[in-house]
Structure 1
Amino acid sequence: MAAKRTAAQAIQWYSSRKGSTAYEGYCEKAARLSWARATHHPTAIDHWRSSDGARHTTGTPPKGAFVFWNISSAGHVGIADGKGGFWATSVKGKIGHATSVHYYSHYLGWKPGNSN
């Protein structure tokens, strides 16, 4: 796997794929690939519950942080833009940007993006 990326590079990974449906149903994989992480979690909710990185449930997620929702049994994850929004799969059915972490219901919080 490639060396870890910066927050800007993780966001660029999503931005360069804007409109793609290639990762629909694979939000955890997309988030992992955006950071070029070696750590693998089967689902977003497993990532949220894991011990890698502290969970934060308040405050604006910093640029590049993983942001999580409990919207299905697998959960959902994206990457924070640092301004209260995020990049993720399943934004109107494709990779896209939303201006609020409350775009989806059941927001859980965030974890640092560059850990592990």
Structure 2
Amino acid sequence: MATRTSSPTAPATSGALLVDFDSVIGQDRKPFDATKLGTTVTATVTVRSIDVLAGGHARGIVDGDGGYAIFYVARGFRIVLADVLKPGAKVKIRGAHELHGMIPTISIFAARAVDA
């Protein structure tokens, strides 16, 4: 049974969230959907929604500069990050560009609150 919580609407541009990552020429920034699978990305975002799933993992939507992206949090990380990843919270996230099903997703493994 999923538990869904959310805050106001996200912008209409899926995958266009601007993310920072290391490239061959140093630190770079581009839309999430333009990064390669397996790339570790970082972004400052607002959590718009989060669904905690029966297995203890979670998924949701974050938005920030440029648009929004879908995220996933594995059960072990969700337990640690539960107090940080809440609807309406402004956070800095770090995760990997992965596919869940066929959906490009930021698999979050670290997050911290950001002062508004």
Hey, which of these two has a bigger chunk of strand by percent? 2
Hey, which of these two has a bigger chunk of helix by percent? 1
Query: After TM superposition, is the score higher than 0.5?
Result: no
Which structure has the greater CA radius of gyration?
2
Length-normalised TM-score, structure 2: 0.25
- Between 1 and 2, higher relative CO (CA 8 Å, sep ≥ 6) is seen in 1
